[in-house]
């Protein structure tokens, strides 16, 4: 700005200097100067900024109307964007729904077989919970299982509370699948009574 120290310009503001606001820049004028050289320099600088604004706005000086126009364009763009976003969200939702339905359909028709002898153990309709934890890892809780022998009672402190459980064996291959809940002490655990916990590593999903 004219090669003068910045502090001079701050003085101009304090001395009621004229300020012109344009896009992102302020041109400061010392309207009290009598020096022709300084006046010429100020005029040159002013024209430079006007030119810059004209270039930036494609030939039009920057006006209130132009500002409103730009604002409207931006608002329009924003609404187009959010419209597109909600369309994409809708599509994603319906895709997820179809995927879920397909999954459920597949799951509904599969049964579980013994990993060792490949014979039927239980089916998806008999699943009570898929979020069980057994000694060796993930397990499912089933309402019914087929082709098993129930072993002798054993009292055990499981992670949840005290239960009486029986080991269960496969009739055909003698594999221990896990256990059957005979009795639960805690009322909140009663729903497990008479149900079977099968380790996931012992059963295989069969989609046939
Ligand atoms: Zn088996």
Beta bridge partners of 134: 137
What domains are defined for the chain? 6-56 (no CATH), 111-206 (2.170.150.20)
- pLDDT grade for 110, boundaries at 50, 70 and 90: confident
Quote the pLDDT of residue 40: 79
Query: What's the CA-to-centroid distance between 117 and ligand 1, angstroms?
Result: 4
- pLDDT grade for 23, boundaries at 50, 70 and 90: very low
Q: How far is CA 102 from CA 40, 98, 135, 159, in A?
A: 78, 6, 32, 35
DSSP 3-state of 172 = coil
| Residue range 55-68, pLDDT digits in tens | 766 666 556 777 78
Quote the pLDDT of residue 178: 86
Beta bridge partners of 184: 163
Q: Any idea what DSSP says for residue 191?
A: G
Query: What's the CA-to-centroid distance between 170 and ligand 1, angstroms?
Result: 5
Mean pLDDT of 78-100: 90
Quote the pLDDT of residue 129: 92
Q: Is the pLDDT of residue 103 over 80?
A: no
Query: What's the CA-to-centroid distance between 113 and ligand 1, angstroms?
Result: 8
What ipTM score was computed for the predicted complex, to two decimals?
0.96
Residue 102, phi-psi category: left (phi > 0), alpha (psi -120 to 50), beta (remainder): alpha
Quote the pLDDT of residue 122: 94
How does the average pLDDT of the chain come out, rounded?
Answer: 78
């Amino acid at each position: 700005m004219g090669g003068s120290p910045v502090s001079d310009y701050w003085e101009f503001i304090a001395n009621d200097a004229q300020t012109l606001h344009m896009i992102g820049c302020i041109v400061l004028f010392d309207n009290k100067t009598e020096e022709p050289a300084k006046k010429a320099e100020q005029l040159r600088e002013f024209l430079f900024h006007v030119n810059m604004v004209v270039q930036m706005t494609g030939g039009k000086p920057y006006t209130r109307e132009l500002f409103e126009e730009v604002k409207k364009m931006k608002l329009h763009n924003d609404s187009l964007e959010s419209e597109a976003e909600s369309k994409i969200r809708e599509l994603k939702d319906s895709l997820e729904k179809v995927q879920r339905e397909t999954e459920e359909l597949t799951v509904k028709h599969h049964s579980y077989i013994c990993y060792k002898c490949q014979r039927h153990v239980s089916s998806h309709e008999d699943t009570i919970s898929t979020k069980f934890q057994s000694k060796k890892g993930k397990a499912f809780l089933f309402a019914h299982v087929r082709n098993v022998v129930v072993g002798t009672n054993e009292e055990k402190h499981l992670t949840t509370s005290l239960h009486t459980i029986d080991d269960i064996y496969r009739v055909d291959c003698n594999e221990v699948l896990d256990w059957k809940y005979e009795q639960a002490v805690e009322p909140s655990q009663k729903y497990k009574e008479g149900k079977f916990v099968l380790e996931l590593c012992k059963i295989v999903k069969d989609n046939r």
